[in-house]
Every structure is written in structure tokens, then in C-alpha cells.
Structure 1
Amino acid sequence: MLGVVIAVFFLLRLVPGDPAAMILGERATPESVAALREQLGLEQPLLKQFTDFLVQLVTRFDTGDSLVTGQSTRELILDKAPVSLGIVVFAVLLAVCIAVPLALAAALRKDGWADHLVRILPTVGLGMPLFWIGLLLIIVFAVHLGWFPVGGVGSGPGEPLRSLFLPSLAVALGMAPPLIRSLRAQLIEVLSADFVTTLRAARIPERRILRRHVLRGAALPALTLLSVNTAYLIGGTLVVEKVFAIGGIGTLLFQSIGSRDFPVVQGVALYCAVLVVLVTALAGVLAAMLDPRLRVGDGDGGSR
């Protein structure tokens, strides 16, 4: 998070463009631009701006006020956050629902036609940009079939969920291929383990073996991969929001980049970094629940 704070602050100021000139427009006089720069504190030394930024961050957990609207960046981001978080959570659920059945079907029919098909599809999916997947979903399911809205978020009963389905599916399709490949490889490895052979010899039902032993044993690497791809998931969500004209954090970010609104861009980057850290920590907790060997013993040097 500290690295994100430092990098975003200084990199934004290396990009050409004057926020004051963009706010006032092309017809602004040099005097008015200079006056606005002084009012916004842009004339201060860079180190002084960074110090003020850190003080606001530590004392208020806020990256300052928007240069364009004057609102607190924290209020702007938290107002848009529910929509973006909804897409993230929905996309994770859809990605798991896509990856688990396909990987299981491929692992149970290793080297069969189903396995070859499942191995080809993720490879194709890896080469598709998220915005292109989103456009395809809009053309097929929104324009031609009319099952979902083309863009925006509805306000009627069930409409928000219906509006977020296609954006979430686009993100899920983008992150599912590596999950399928990883989970398939782990399932094949677990299915060939000695304990699975022993369970089958004991005539335990196949479904019970798959549900209680095989899937649990193969879920840990996939969970780790999912947590590692959190940054990709969040970045994909921000891009997909723009494609579907959803007023979330992604739309706010692109508008702020276009207007050179430094505090808002810094705020979005910081909050996304916080989300990545939280998801990574949550993945560690879930991994410990799945694998007792990862739990720390209480003083006896062993595991619980």
C-alpha cells in the first residue's frame, strides 16, 4: 500500500497536462490558470504537496478534495463503491461456477474429448480482451435476445442484479481460464493419489470422495491463484464498467484521469490497494480452513 501511495502520487505528476488549464478550458488566460493553480496548491513544492497528502491520508484516510468538484475523494469513492464491489463479488461467484464443473469434467475424463475441449477453451479465452468480451455479451444477450439491459443499473425490483449480470460475466470469463487450468491439474494429481485409491477400495461412494476429499484437496492452489489475480479482477471490473456505462469506481477513475484530478485518482488507487490486501488476507484464512497444516500450533510446535 505504501508503494502504491508513493508511485501513484509521483507518476501522476510526471504525466503532461495541467489540471488548472483543463478545469478552466482552452480559452482561459494564463493569469486565471496561475490563480487557480495557486488556489489548488499546485504551485507548492512537490515535497510539500506529498507531505500534505500523507497527513490527510493518515489523519482522515482521505486523499484530499477533488480538484474539479471540491468534494472529498473519500465520499466520491464510497458513493460509487457498492456497484463496483457488487461486480467483483458476482464475478468471483460466476468464475467459480464456471471453473469447477469444467475442470472436474476434464479431470474425470483425462485425455478424452471433454478434456481436450476444456483445455482448448481456456487458451482461446486468455486471448480475448475484457472489453471485447463485454461487447460480445451486449450484442448477443442485450441487443439480439433482449434478456439484459444494454447498460446502466436499473432501480426496480431485481433490476440491479439483472443489470450487473453481464458485466460480472464478462469479468468472470476473463479470469476463469487460469482457474480452470490450475484446478484441472490439481484435480488430476489428487485423483491419482493413494488415499483416493484406498477410499475407492473401501467402496465409499464416488460423489462423496469427490465432494469431501478431492475437491477440498484441489481447492487450495486454485484459491491461492484467485487471490493472486485479485488485482486483475479489480482492474477488469473498472474497464468493464466503462463498456457497460455503469457509474461505478471505474467510470469515476476514467473521468478523473481525463480531467487530471490527482486526488481522486490517488484515492481510487489506494482503495483498490486496500481491497487487494484484504482479499489476500481472506484467502489466507480460507486456505488455513481448507488445510489444517497451515494453522499455527498453540505452543507445542505442532499443528491443530
Structure 2
Amino acid sequence: MLIAAKKVGLGLLTLLVSSFIIFSAIRLVPGDPVLALTAGRRLTPGQIEALRGEYGLNEPFFTSYFHWLQGVIHLDFGESLNFKTPVNELIGARMTVSGLLIAYAAVISIVAGYGAALIAASRGGKTDKSLIILSSIATATPPFVSAVVLLSVFVVMLGWFPALGAGEGFGDRVYHLTLPAVALALSSFGVLARLSRTSFLEQLSREHVEVATSRGVPRMTVLRKHVVRNSLGPLLTLTAMLVSTLFVGTAVVETAFGIDGIGNLLVDSVGKRDMPVVQGIAFWSVFIFVVTSTLVEIAMPKIDPRLKNEVAA
């Protein structure tokens, strides 16, 4: 319980530091959000000052930060300068599509990554070499490049998938989000496949695995009980970290496929200097990552008892 409390405390401290970095980075970016908001309209100095006062842009830096932090604690990120709508409403309206896209990409990267790694590690030879090459290419390919290639092949050339949008209804959305999810999952698949393969090969070389095999234990049983299970602890941590970082790639993928999600909203808000929206999305991204990391660190000793002494130390 004490270890869990320490992890939670460290997570809260990380969020506090991150909130200051997010606010500072966005607040100190050159340019005046009010001028971006007015879109070139001629306003008097008095009108500009009134707008700055309305959105708290003329307050001293630390005063403005503490006011913003107070709102964050109450899950109030203010109002969008561009949409004139509470930031949480904007994010919530787009969270369903982005959440489904991220979940879809996570399933693809986990199932394909673990599955390919297990097959390659157990068969060896050309299969193993092919996975090394494929995973290296996947890891090195940015989501935007993957999106362009997938659009060119499966939309333009073959016409198998729609080019834009997220569809309506669960089935139609899964169909529309298949290519975006693959583009988003590719890099994570490459990392998972390579590191899982290494972990599986290490377990396959262990003495107890060789003994079980020599005693005639079925191959699938050996893989499931001795290889996958003993690799689960470290790989679970890696998987959680990779899944929580999928959000980063949604901006380029949603833009490429014309999906009205969180990533697309972020790109639009950055272009229009909509600071409250950018700050809100950035903070929620960090929040998801920190919560995921903390939960995994707390759960790891229960999943893999071998780590109990490590964590206690």
C-alpha cells in the first residue's frame, strides 16, 4: 500500500510539473492570440485590450498560471477562443471517434506484434529474419508516410476503403477507421514485435522450457505456459507505454484521413492560436500517459511476483 501511495504521489507531482510546462510553452509562443482571433479585422486598441482582459491574457504570467491550474483541478479548461465553447465540450464531442481509433490501433499493434513475434521466435529461420526486416521498416515509418501509402494503394488504386471521414454507426466506423488504425498502429507494431521476439527467444532458451519440450509437453502448451506467461510482465509495461503514446500520432493520421477527432482539433487549434484548447488537449494527453504508467507500475508486482523485491527496493 505504501509503494502504491508513493507511485500515486509521484504521478501527481509529474502532472503538476507537466501543467506548468504546458502552460509556459503555449503561453510563451510568439504571437498574439487576440490578433489570430480577430482574423485580420480592424479593432481599436481599446477593443483589443478588452478581448485580452476577457480571456485573461493581460494578467501577470504566474497569476494567469494559478488561475488556469485552479480550473484544471476542477476539470475546467476554460472557453475556446475560436469556437466560443467550453474546451471540455469540444474535447468530449471528438473523444468517441479518437478513442475508437486509438483502441482499434492498439488491438492491431498488440495482436499483430505479439502474434508475429511468437511465430518468428518459435519457427526461426527465414520467418524470423522476415520479421526483423518488417519490424524495422514499420518502426522507422512515420504515421503520415504510412497514411499516404495506404491511401494511395487501398483507396486510390484498389478502391477498397473510403478516403475520408469516420463513418456512422459501429460497423461503418470500424470500416472507415481500418486504414487510419493501421497507419497509426504500424510503428507500435514494429517496436512490440522486435522486443517481444527478443523476450520470447530468451524464454525459449531457458532450461525449464527445454525440459518441458523433452518430456513431450505439447508445443502450444510450452509456448503459452512457459514462454508467453514468463514474458508477460516486462512486455505489459512496454505495451501500456506504447498504447498511451498512440494519441500523439492521431494528429497527422486524422488530418490525412479527414477524421474530425481530437488530433484534428489540435492541429486546427494550433493554427488558430486557440490556447485554451491546445492546453486542454496537451494536459489530457499527459494525464492519460501518467495514469496509465502509474497503474501499470502498481499492478506489475501482482502480475509478476519476481518484481516485488525490485519495486520494494
**What is the distance in 2 between the residues matched to 1:288 and 1:246?**
39
In structure 2, the partner of 1:83 is 97
Is residue 2:166 matched to residue 1:153?
Answer: yes
> How is 1:91-110 mapped onto 2 (pairs within 5 angstroms)?
91-110=105-124
Normalised by the length of structure 1, the TM-score is: 0.90
**What is the distance in 2 between the residues matched to 1:277 and 1:241?**
24
**What is the distance in 2 between the residues matched to 1:198 and 1:182?**
25
Between 28-37 and 250-259, report the one with greater CA deviation. Answer: 28-37
Deviation string, structure 1 residues 236-265 (Cα, Å, up to 9, x no partner): 123211111111111111111111111111
**What is the distance in 2 between the residues matched to 1:217 and 1:178?**
19
In structure 1, the partner of 2:242 is 229
In structure 1, the partner of 2:50 is 35
CA contact under 8 A between 1:253 and 1:264: conserved in structure 2? yes
CA contact under 8 A between 1:199 and 1:209: conserved in structure 2? yes
2:28 to 14, 17, 37: 14
CA contact under 8 A between 2:241 and 2:292: conserved in structure 1? no
What percent identity do the matched residue pairs reach?
Answer: 35
Check 1:237–1:44 CA distance in 2 against 1; reply closer, same or farther (3 A cut).
same
Normalised by the length of structure 2, the TM-score is: 0.88
> How is 1:21-170 mapped onto 2 (pairs within 5 angstroms)?
21-31=35-45, 32-58=47-73, 60-110=74-124, 112-156=125-169, 158-170=171-183
Is residue 2:281 matched to residue 1:268?
Answer: yes
Structure 1 residue 289: Cα displacement: 5.2
User: In structure 1, the residue corresponding to 2:212 is in which secondary structure?
Assistant: helix
Check 1:255–1:224 CA distance in 2 against 1; reply closer, same or farther (3 A cut).
same
What count of residue pairs does the alignment treat as equivalent? 295
Structure 1 residue 42: Cα displacement: 1.1
Deviation string, structure 1 residues 23-54 (Cα, Å, up to 9, x no partner): 11223234232332222221121222112111
**What is the distance in 1 between the residues matched to 2:35 and 2:53?**
12
Check 1:162–1:295 CA distance in 2 against 1; reply closer, same or farther (3 A cut).
farther
Structure 1 residue 227: Cα displacement: 2.4
Structure 1 residue 267: Cα displacement: 0.6
1:3 to 9, 17, 20: 17
Q: Tell me, which stretches of 5 or more residues in structure 2 are unaligned?
A: 1-14
User: In structure 1, the residue corresponding to 2:82 is in which secondary structure?
Assistant: coil
* Greater fraction of residues in helix: 2
Amino acid at match of 1:160: R
User: In structure 1, the residue corresponding to 2:273 is in which secondary structure?
Assistant: coil
CA contact under 8 A between 2:244 and 2:292: conserved in structure 1? no
CA contact under 8 A between 1:200 and 1:206: conserved in structure 2? yes
Check 1:8–1:210 CA distance in 2 against 1; reply closer, same or farther (3 A cut).
same
Check 1:57–1:159 CA distance in 2 against 1; reply closer, same or farther (3 A cut).
same
Amino acid at match of 1:34: E
Between 132-141 and 286-295, report the one with greater CA deviation. Answer: 286-295
Amino acid at match of 2:76: D
CA contact under 8 A between 1:182 and 1:221: conserved in structure 2? no
**What is the distance in 2 between the residues matched to 1:218 and 1:66?**
46
